[in-house]
Structure 1
Amino acid sequence: MVFGKMRLVVSLVSLLTACAGTGARPPAAGTLRWFGGPTVLLERDGLRLLTDPMLGSRGPRAFVLPKHPSTGAPDAEVARYVDPPDMDLGRLDAVILRAVGVDGPLGRRSMDAEEALKLITLLNPRRVIPIHHTTFGHYREPVRALEQRAEKAGVGGRLQLPREGEAIDLSR
């Protein structure tokens, strides 16, 4: 996992370095646009990849954690301080989702299969890459629940479930 994180950091640093500078950038260099929270749109060579979409509007109850991470209070409301920027996501080649509902000491931290399917329908990406679903033993439901719901909704062909360390060719 450390090597995977290191590769991601090296890739992001390379992308940021390519995007930095003073004049015009060549289109192949790519861009990274942060939408707040963990959500980033990466664009390079015509490929558009959205990570960990949390696109809800500003408000005192953006989501609820079963347990507040600091105080331990139950049913802790979490505020979103700013609206996501205006955006036209247009065509997305891939969306990386944290799925399938994680329970941990900080409460629920990702989408369950039903929520993931709603997001897939809303964003309509060419492919969906669920991550953080089999590595540890604290998931609320198996990733198979997402596969089954996606198949039933007719979008199962968009799911790609990589094994740890497996590369996915995004050019296809």
Structure 2
Amino acid sequence: MKVTPAAIADVLIIEPRVLGDSRGFLFESFNQRDFNAATGTEFTFVQDNHSRSLNGVLRGLHYQISQPQGKLVRVVRGAVFDVTVDVRPASPTFGQWAGLELNEYAHRQLWIPPGFAHGFLVLSESADVLYKTTEYYLPTDEACLAWDDPGIGIQWPLRAPPILSSRDRQGRRLKPV
């Protein structure tokens, strides 16, 4: 597995070793021991989620307040522009964002540690996103940042206005402009 730091400290791009030939491919998508060694963490994952979304759907930016979730994100079908925002108040990178394309061909994964908001924009006709979490989902603990918060300034690769849920349309700003 190859691990590359993203633009924000602690966020990592993980590329598994893919074995492929004319029949297809095989790779180990997760191994707790190797993940801990490669990331220098001791997190254990407690929940797996699977999201399917259509082209132009923007989900997020979601996070939990008192029980922050670390997430290991990958795309198994399609392509997304995946974004994370540092919402750790004491962090030197508070309010900064990092984004990259995740797709079914590169097999890259994104490790997002606890204390970050997460969201993605679907670039393909549809996309299936799988992600592991280090804490259980707690609806009463969830918060949502405005996807278009000018104080954060995410450069989404939009071709048209995004398709948003009612919750995502009501996201709050992280800090005043």
TM class by shorter chain equals under 0.3
Give TM-score scaled by structure 1 length: 0.28
Instruction: Tell me which of the two structures has the higher relative contact order, counting C-alpha pairs closer than 8 angstroms and 6 or more residues apart.
Output: 2
Counting helix residues as a fraction of each chain, which structure ranks higher?
A: 1
Which is richer in strand? 2
Please report the TM-score for the alignment, with normalisation by the length of structure 2: 0.27
